[in-house]
Structure 1
Amino acid sequence: MWQMLQWIMFLLVTGYAIYLFYKAVYHRYLYLSLGRPVEFRARSRLSWNNWSEFLSQVFGQRKLLKDWRSGIMHIVIFYGFIILQFGAIDLIVKGLTRGGHLPLPGYQLFGLSQEVTVLLILIAIGYAAYRRYGERLPRLKKGWKPSLVLILISSIMLTVLLSLSLERIWFQLDPSLYAPVSSLISLALQSLSTSAAEVFFYLFWWLHLLILLIFLVYIPQSKHFHLITAPINIWLRRTEPPGRLTSIDLEDEEAESFGAGAITDFTRKQMLDFYACVECGRCTNVCPASNTGKPLSPMHLITKLRDYLTDVGTEQTGKSPWQPSYAFASSRTATHQLSELKNSAVAWMDSSLPPESGESGAMLHEVSAGSEEAVNKLAVLQPPLPITDIRPTLDWQSAVWGVQDRSDSGAAGLASAAELELIGDVMTEEEIWSCTTCRNCEDQCPVGNEHVDKIIDLRRHLVLMQGSIPQEGQRALQNIERQGNPWGISRNERFNWTFELEGLSVPTVRDNPQFEYLFFVGSMGSYDLRSRKISRSFARLMLEAGINFAVLGNEEKNSGDTPRRMGNEFLFQQLCQENIALFQQYRVRKIVTADPHAFNTFKNEYPEFGLEDVEVIHHTQLLERLIKEGKLSLHHEVRERITYHDSCYLGRYNGIYDAPREILRRVPGIELTEMKRSRENAMCCGAGGGLMWMEETGGKQINLARTEQALEVSPTMIGSGCPYCLTMLEDGVKMKELDVRTKDIAEIVELSVFGEALA
């Protein structure tokens, strides 16, 4: 009779939990269905490259191992739970059959593996708690939700060990090396009778089952939904180059709007990102905006959009996201802004110093006012301020986005999801315009989330539908439209930089129609006085190496990168089509440029609009080849200690890290040293995403922070392969008032080839 009742209770409880799990997942699927459909190419999904990337990220945990300590911790928990699933089934069988077990070969070894795995998971959970509450890493959230998961997992592990220990007492099993932990615990509990051990066994057996089922129901209603959505998200990730944005069909007569002005304007794949987020904060931890006290936090971008989608989905489908719904009757996702808190929090962004409280905070403000006495006191109270700090941004996000009580929905300031605006109430314009599009967030994300495309879609709506853009940005776009460059300088002055090459002549495509390489100079290289030196150096080196090249001269137009990243898709497509027509007119087959932004745009985005059979290379790639082939001889020593800054659009967008470094290693006299944040994890200079043409408001200047990171390794020269980066770093060095030079790779090679730069 007892066994029958046990079975009935087990089936009812388990069935109910599975039903709640299904409803929670299905309702979120309905919310995702509100998004725009997106097409996937089956062939690219089944390719070996896609499979290998999928396996390395999901089962190899490659992204998580960027932080090797937390990566190992997560691997232990990930594979530990896979192993323990067999143990959970075995334990359920034991409870339902009064001591039976799965008919597995080598059952004793199986039992040993279970106990060792439980111990490893407990150690991993202990380390997870230490990182969150001992080290207090700023990127990791604190509170009852993270603690609940740690408690649930620890409880599952402890109930496994106690159940196995009580089973040994119940059946009077001798201690065994194949069950070391349960044997030790059973020895400590040996005073229990066999009948008492049976009662306690079933007590912990049921506790183990209930905690497992609670965790099952909790998974889709928390960040742990990533256990299901992350593998799907990684499988459906973009297979095209990361530097290619999704284009807009501007001729679609049925389109009511462009960009993302409502949550349902995002695609279903973009919405899947929302539910795949694990809230680990790795993206925010590397974001240049978050690092310098700007409002934008990539993690909060995703979670706020997720919260908002959940509320909008609930209202539009009538399906509650919470299961069982009666247990969450008072819960409400925070889909509204707390304006008063936001206004006070925005003030935190007005200083490059992180917000503090009490005596320390008051002194920080005195320090910013130049008080020498406060500086001396502060040096005793706390260590020097770090170069970057994400805490002001996290504090701001916490102040403006929190969980509210549904029963209080009639209070002032609260609104239903339908009454809220995606841009303004959920995402502020300050956040949207803080993004440098550097993709460091995407590179760090272990679940394949793509942040930049969402920011660009929000910008597109602001620019194309609302005409809303910071004044400096609007001026730059107007100048590009009228004169083909952000300054608004006459188109007829684009070729003037060549007049400064004494004794040398740079041919145009009209002068040299049989050219091999088109040297696309770009707006920076043509007009900016500092960047023109890079153009002259590179042209001089190509002439020395005997490269058959030509430039477009005054016929050259802007590449369109700036308009596209700033949301003006119309202007980008116009420039794109005009440039392609120009390239076709002059039969261009190879393009070389010193501008990584133009390089990325031509290489990854123009092919979609008709640029075919054209090889696009960066000037560092060509210089490396010329040096290896002996066409450029590095005779002269350049006695400098150089640290190289990786351009985002050259590195993370296109994977070019080694070519510039190989050049520097070949230059005699150079000592190459790396910054802490280099290569894939290099911090942005602050010029990307159109921010080159806009003023930074609030927080610390990004270029200053990056310059300070470079200065940590005591260089005498900072090297770069991007005119935008070079300008930002040079400005940073000037702000620090230090005697450290900044040079482009071409300028450094020129020093070694000719012995001195061209004045």
Structure 2
Amino acid sequence: MSPLVIANIVLTVVVVLYAVGLFIYLLKTRYKFVQLGKKVEFDESVQERIRYLMVNVFGQNKLLKDPKSGLIHVMFFYGFLMVQLGAIDLIWKGLVPGSHLPLGMFYGVFTFFQELVVLMILVAVVWAFYRRYVEKLVRLKRGWKNGLVLIFIGGLMLSTLLANGMGLIWHGEGLTYTEPVASSIAAIFSFLPTSAAATVFYIAWWAHLLILLTFLIYVPQSKHFHLIVSPINVYMNRLDRTGTLTPIDFEALEEAGENAESEDDIPSIGVGRIQDFTQKQMLDLYSCVECGRCTNMCPATGTGKMLSPMDLIVKLRDHLTFTGAVVTKQKPWVPYQFFANTKGNQLAMAAGAEGAVIEDIYSPSLIGDVITEEEIWACTTCRNCEDQCPVMNEHVDKIIDLRRYLTMTEGKVNSDAQRAMTNIERQGNPWGLNRKEKENWRDLDPTINIPTVKELKKSGEEMEYLLWVGSMGAFDNRSQKIALAFCRLMNEAGVKFAILGNKEKNSGDTPRRLGNEFLFQELATANIDEFEKNDVKKIVTIDPHAYNIFKNEYQDFGWKGEVYHHTELLNQLIEENRLVLNYEVEETIVFHDSCYLGRYNDVYDAPREILRGIPGVKLVEMERNRETAMCCGAGGGLMWMEEHVGNRINVARTEQALATNASVISSGCPYCLTMLEDGTKAKEVEDTISTFDVAELLERSVFGEKVKTVADNVDELTEEMLEEVVASVDSQEQDKNEELNAEK
């Protein structure tokens, strides 16, 4: 073995060990940063988690929701896995000249497919560059950092082809069909002497090795850390009850506070410091690839609000890195000589100085300095961001944890939101209406049998379903019509149901999403007591928010029963021929998916099957439908808060519905219907576009043109009274003017 070959081997070993050492150091620092978070229980459902990992990491399930970008990533992902064997082969060729991987007769097949993959990756690099810098997708960041990895990958592929081509000339192997690209390069440069070819080979070889090792060191220090972290994050992702919020154990918090040795040891309610997040939530931060899919689908971002889900994650990640550098005294950026002046490294140096006080070095307020209150309160909790995220990050739970801190620790709540929560606490509804009038809505149509649980028991009949009416169904004039239509249909189908009446409290969804976990738990406990007292086994509701919270979140407090959305039950009754669709409804209908019915609970088909089954109905879809449906703007407690920034979300969603040229906008949620109806008024199309719940449209098909209820008459009476009042005021004004003229 020649001295040059030996020197090359020694130098290679030194460089590789140095790079691997830096890589291991970076992994350790990030691990220590994540360890600053609270420990979290982990359900070890190994088989299910492996299946989930295979589907979403190796199957690239989420990424392929956007076919263009998804295909690019699939090419990068599988191509990069496959060319690693090629990288080993190339390094082997440089360390042991004249040889290659001992693959025997399969080596030719290997080199042929390797070149195909390399070409595929080069095409993907060009495509990705075009999408980012020429097409300029809004969701993708630009700048040299974001193009650096494309340069790395392109450099690796080109250096591979060049080195292999020069290797053919150097060793006089001649052209071969198993390496068509390398052979073409060798043919073009066939005039080079073998010594020159050897020199060019090693230039390309070292370029390849240095790019590869630089990339290795760069990955943990960039958004590309997701290459390592995201498979772990996907594996540890929750497998059921998507979007469920973690309960706060107030008794444990109180006990921890009593046993705290210092003020810093007293646990906070919610998240007021980065260390208050769980380790899994911190893993989310380092998993983010900054692809912008979340922000691209966010209704708040799309209507000009302060919130960007991607920016939220990135800002929290950077804050965690800086906090980790101070607390652990570990420099986050290497090689240190090149990054001595970076903020993270300077913080670590300052924290390591004798007598250093951490609070004096780095102590920005998480809420205020890092994340603004405007961002926190802009979220509708629609989970469109989470549905789009390819690495399974959860944005909403972090925002709710921040709201919990603002609401329960700081007492900083929007005045409209606080009023709604106070009214819920006192009267069980956001308007503060008399709780003793909660069952009065059923008097609007005496022809419909709507018994209370107490009345049903007295009659000696057994209740199959408890109908949870909710505040909207009980008190809101428009939503009362939905409740009445649903009850009339259940009467027709012979369903034995009852309501709690004045005993029905609030489900607790609004206070929980606004951050008032304490009030939610009070309501949940009281509701569960009422359910158990009345032996409730099945609940049906017209409210997707109540549906979600009963089905997925009351389990954490001891209640487990069957929960149905009214469209699920109605569809079942139709399938059982207990409801017959006799009449045509000549309408073109577009259906809006409620976030808490769709993305939270995967109920997409039931309402559509009902609408498709109605004779005369033509069902059309908005461009954003089902999983990608845009929020109406009412979720997360925002129903009770005014929008003061940007455009109104409900108007934006209404515009999407109007683009379908439908005559009816339908929904399965009273909140959504209210927001969409307001949207038609804002667009001044309420006289030409109707808004109906699925139950109301089904009622028309079962019973024909619906007989006017007392509720309809009340609306007309109100309009007549209003006209009389206006006429009276005008008359009084006219009399005053005549008197003034007479005096003059």
- Normalised TM-score (structure 2): 0.90
Aligned amino acid, residue 14 of structure 1? V
Report how far residue 418 of structure 1 moved.
2.7
Structure 2: distance between partners of 1:331 and 1:639: 67
1:134 shift after superposition: 1.2
The 2-side partners of 1:335 and 1:211 are apart by 27
User: How big is each residue's C-alpha offset from its partner over 1:154-191, in whole Å with a ceiling of 9 and x where there is no partner?
Assistant: 11111000000100111122222211111111111111
1:380 corresponds in structure 2 to none
Contact kept in structure 2, 1:719 and 1:745, CA below 8 Å = yes
Q: Give secondary structure in 2 for the equivalent of 1:728.
A: helix
1:287-337 CA-to-partner distances (Å, cap 9, x unmatched) read 00011010000001100000000000001110011011221112236999x
- 3-state SS of 2:691 partner: strand
Describe the SS at the equivalent of 1:20.
helix
1:639 aligns with 2:586: yes
The residue matched to 2:337 in structure 1 has which SS? helix
Question: Offset of 1:697 from its aligned partner?
Answer: 1.6
Task: Say which of 257, 271, 276 aligns to 1:265.
Answer: 276
1:457 aligns with: 401
CA 1:335–1:730 in structure 2 vs 1: closer, same or farther (change >3 Å)? farther
Report what 1:681 is aligned to. Answer: 628
Matched, 1:595 2:559: no
Q: Say which of 553, 568, 577 aligns to 2:501.
A: 553
Give the equivalent residue in structure 2 for 1:368: none
1:12 is displaced (CA, Å) by 0.2
CA distance in 2, matches of 1:32, 1:149: 25
1:583 to 510, 515, 531: 531
**Structure-2 residue corresponding to 1:374:** none
3-state secondary structure, aligned to 2:644 = coil
Q: What pairs with 1:615-634 in structure 2 (closer than 5 Å)?
A: 615-634=562-581
Kindly indicate whether residue 646 of structure 2 is the aligned counterpart of residue 699 of structure 1.
Answer: yes
Q: Deviations over 1:553-609 (max 9, x none)?
A: 111000000000000000000000000000011111110001000000000010110
What one-letter code is carried by the residue in structure 2 that aligns with 1:274?
L
Q: CA RMSD in A?
A: 1.4
1:651 corresponds to which letter in structure 2?
G
1:243, distance to aligned residue in structure 2 (A): 3.4
1:308·1:417 contact (CA, 8 Å) conserved in 2? no
CA contact (8 A) 1:63 1:444 kept: yes
Contact 2:448 2:487 in 1 (8 A): no
**For residues 376 and 670 of structure 2, what CA distance do their matches in structure 1 show?**
25
| CA–CA separation in structure 2 for the residues paired with 1:458 and 1:261 | 7
Q: Structure 1 residues 487, 277: closer, same or farther in 2, change over 3 A?
A: same
Contact preservation (8 Å) 1:308, 1:333: no
Instruction: Name the SS for the 2:456 alignment partner.
Output: coil
Shift of residue 210 of structure 1?
Answer: 0.4
Deviation at 1:51, TM superposition (A): 2.5
SS in 2 for 1:329: coil
State which of 472, 486, 507 in structure 2 corresponds to 1:538. Answer: 486
Cα 1:8–1:416, aligned 2, differ >3 Å: closer, same or farther?
Answer: farther
Match 1:731 to one of 672, 678, 684: 678
Distance 1:273 1:457 in 2: 15
Distance 1:110 1:249 in 2: 57
Partner of 1:439: 383
The aligned residue for residue 209 of structure 2 is: 209
For residues 298 and 670 of structure 2, the distance between their equivalents in structure 1, rounded to whole angstroms, comes to 21
Question: How far, CA to CA, are the matches of 2:27 and 2:652 in structure 1?
Answer: 43
Matched-pair identity in %: 56
> Is residue 298 of structure 2 the alignment partner of residue 287 of structure 1?
yes
Say which structure, 1 or 2, has more relative contact order (CA 8 Å, 6+ apart).
Answer: 1
* Corresponding residue SS for 2:52: helix
**Per the alignment, in what secondary structure is the counterpart of residue 591 of structure 1?**
strand
Q: CA deviation at 1:125?
A: 0.6
Q: Find the counterpart in structure 1 of residue 741 from structure 2.
A: none
Secondary structure of the 1:118 match is helix
**Aligned with 2:251: secondary structure?**
coil
> Does the Cα contact within 8 Å between 1:308 and 1:335 map onto a contact in 2?
no
What CA distance in whole angstroms lies between the structure 1 residues aligned with 2:288 and 2:532?
44
Kept in 2: contact 1:308–1:334 (CA 8 A)? no
C-alpha distance in structure 1 between counterparts of 2:644 and 2:312, whole Å:
19
Distance 1:127 1:333, change over 3 A: farther
Secondary structure at the aligned position of 1:178 is classed as coil
3-state SS of paired residue (1:638) = coil
Letter in 1 for 2:399: I
Residue of structure 2 equivalent to 1:95: 94
Q: 1:416: how far off? A: 7.2
What residue is the counterpart of 2:737 in the other structure? none
The code of the aligned residue for 1:93 comes to W
Match in the other structure for 1:57: 56
Matched, 1:609 2:608: no
Question: What SS class does the counterpart of residue 424 from structure 1 fall into?
Answer: coil
Structure 1 residues 758 and 564, CA gap change in structure 2 (3 angstroms)? farther
Alpha-carbon distance between aligned partners in 1 of 2:212 and 2:431, rounded to the nearest angstrom: 62
SS at match of 2:480: helix
- 2:426 is the alignment partner of 1:426: no
Task: Report how far residue 417 of structure 1 moved.
Answer: 6.6
State whether residues 583 and 703 of structure 2, in contact with CA within 8 Å, keep that contact through their aligned partners in structure 1.
yes
Quick one: which amino acid aligns to residue 306 of structure 1? R
Whether the 8 Å contact between 1:602 and 1:616 is mirrored in structure 2 is yes
Q: 1:331-342 residue pairs with structure 2 within 5 A?
A: 331-332=342-343
Which of 13, 22, 25 is 2:24 aligned to?
Answer: 22
Task: Provide runs of 4+ in structure 1 moved above 4 Å.
Answer: 333-336
> After superposition, what is the alpha-carbon deviation per residue over 1:178-230, rounded to whole angstroms, capped at 9, x for unaligned?
11111111111111100110111011101110000000000000000000000
Distance 1:757 1:459 in 2: 44
Q: Does the 8 A contact of 2:332 with 2:344 survive in 1? A: no
Contact 2:270 2:405 in 1 (8 A): yes
1:41-74 deviation per Cα after TM superposition (whole angstroms, max 9, x unaligned)? 22x2x133x3222111000000000001111111
Structure 1 residues 358-377: aligned runs within 5 Å:
none
The separation in 1 between residues aligned to 2:637 and 2:114, in whole angstroms, is 54
CA distance in 1, matches of 2:226, 2:59: 16
Q: Which residue in the other structure is 2:450 paired with?
A: 506
Q: How far is the alpha carbon of 1:441 from its aligned partner?
A: 0.4
CA distance in 2, matches of 1:417, 1:555: 55
| Alpha-carbon displacement from aligned partner over 1:444-503 (angstroms, at most 9, x marks no partner) | 000010000000000000001000010000000000000000000000111111001132
For 1:164-179, list aligned pairs within 5 A: 164-179=164-179
Query: Is the CA contact 1:537–1:757 (under 8 Å) kept in the aligned structure 2?
Result: no
- Residues 86-115 of structure 1, C-alpha deviations (whole Å, 9 max, x = no match): 000011010000121111131011011111
- 8 Å contact from structure 1 (residues 131, 137) kept in 2: yes
> Residue 566 in 1 paired to residue 514 in 2?
yes
Instruction: Say which is worse superposed, 238-247 or 144-153, in terms of deviation.
Output: 238-247
Tell me, yes or no, if the aligned pair for 2:587 and 2:663 is still in contact at 8 Å: yes
Q: CA deviation at 1:238?
A: 1.1
Question: Is 1:10–2:21 an aligned residue pair?
Answer: no
- Structure 2, unpaired ranges of 5+: 258-266, 351-358, 709-744
Q: Is the 8 A contact 2:295 2:309 kept in 1?
A: yes
| Matched letter for residue 284 of structure 1 | T
Report the counterpart of residue 183 of structure 1 in structure 2: 183
1:482–1:488 CA contact under 8 A, matched in 2: yes
Residue identity opposite 2:503 in structure 1: E
Q: How does 1:109-124 map to 2 (within 5 A)?
A: 109-124=109-124
Give 1:743's aligned residue.
692
SS at match of 1:719: strand
463, 466, 477: which is aligned to 1:515?
Answer: 463
Q: Which has the larger radius of gyration?
A: 2
Distance 1:209 1:244 in 2: 46
Gaps of 5+ in 1: 337-405, 407-414
1:254-333 to structure 2, matched below 5 A, reads 254-255=256-257, 256-332=267-343
Contact 2:673–2:693 under 8 Å retained in 1: yes
Most deviating of 501-510 and 75-84: 501-510
- Aligned match of 2:598 in 647, 651, 657? 651
How many angstroms apart in 1 are the aligned matches of 2:367 and 2:220? 27
Aligned residue for 2:564, secondary structure, equals: strand
Q: Work out the CA distance in 1 between the residues paired with 2:40 and 2:292.
A: 28
Letter in 1 for 2:514: M
> How many residues are paired up?
678
5 Å matches for 1:61-140? 61-105=60-104, 106-140=106-140
Decide whether the 8 Å contact of 2:269 with 2:405 is kept in 1.
yes
**Partner SS, residue 540 of structure 2:** strand
- In structure 2, what residue type is equivalent to 1:581? D
